[in-house]
Structure 1
Amino acid sequence: MSEEQMSFEVAMKSLEDAVRQLESGELPLAESIVRYKTAMDLVLFCRRQLDEAELQIEQLSAKLDGGSGLPE
């Protein structure tokens, strides 16, 4: 699934699964490295999604505050 098709929730579930597999200690080294890279890619994707959501919330809040953008 490409990043364009992946939701935040699906990415978080995949990240949780990858972490669980890594923590189990049952994966061969080569597979652990692949899973680690995948997990880091998922972390970056989720961080971008959260940053975008935060920006949207800030913009909506600024509109509700009369456009000042300053917290009260």
Structure 2
Amino acid sequence: MTQSETDGGSGSPTPGGGGEPRDGVMGYEQARDELVAVVRRLEAGGSTLEESLALWERGEELAGICRQWLEGARARLDAAIERDARGGEAEDEGVAGAERTGGNGGSGSEE
């Protein structure tokens, strides 16, 4: 199976799910498990040169799929951390604003 067969021809899986296949995209766990099996077969030896090369190529393909999922997960985490940091800044500004206006958020007059 080629990468275009596993990702619907888009060139990359759509990271973000729980690793479950979606629209023909191989999930992270499935790719990782198959990669482990490929590595075990290569380590066991006994394959012909042609079989070993095919296994190696498949392993590279699976490693690429896993890498894309992990990069997507990292991007989502970074975005969540950034959103959280921005949300914290907005909350801090709200507290500072309330302190400047006597705690009433700027509505009404200060005495």
What TM-score range do you get, normalising by the shorter chain? Answer: 0.7 to 0.9
* AA of the residue aligned to 2:67: R
TM-score scaled by structure 1? 0.85
1:6-45 alignment runs, 5 A limit: 6-45=26-65
Runs of 5+ consecutive residues of structure 2 not aligned to the other structure: 8-23, 89-111
Q: As a proportion of its length, which structure holds more helix?
A: 1
* Ranges of 4+ aligned residues in structure 1 off by more than 3 Å: none
The size of the alignment, in residue pairs, is 68
* AA of the residue aligned to 2:82: A
Shift of 1:26: 1.5
CA distance in 1, matches of 2:26, 2:87: 33
* AA of the residue aligned to 2:39: V
| Deviations 1:2-48 (CA, angstroms, capped at 9, x unpaired) | 13421000000000000000000111111000000000011111111
Shift of 1:67: 5.8
RCO higher in 1 or 2 (8 Å CA, sep ≥ 6)? Answer: 1
TM-score scaled by structure 2? 0.57
Runs of 5+ consecutive residues of structure 1 not aligned to the other structure: none
Give the RMSD, CA atoms, in angstroms.
Answer: 1.6
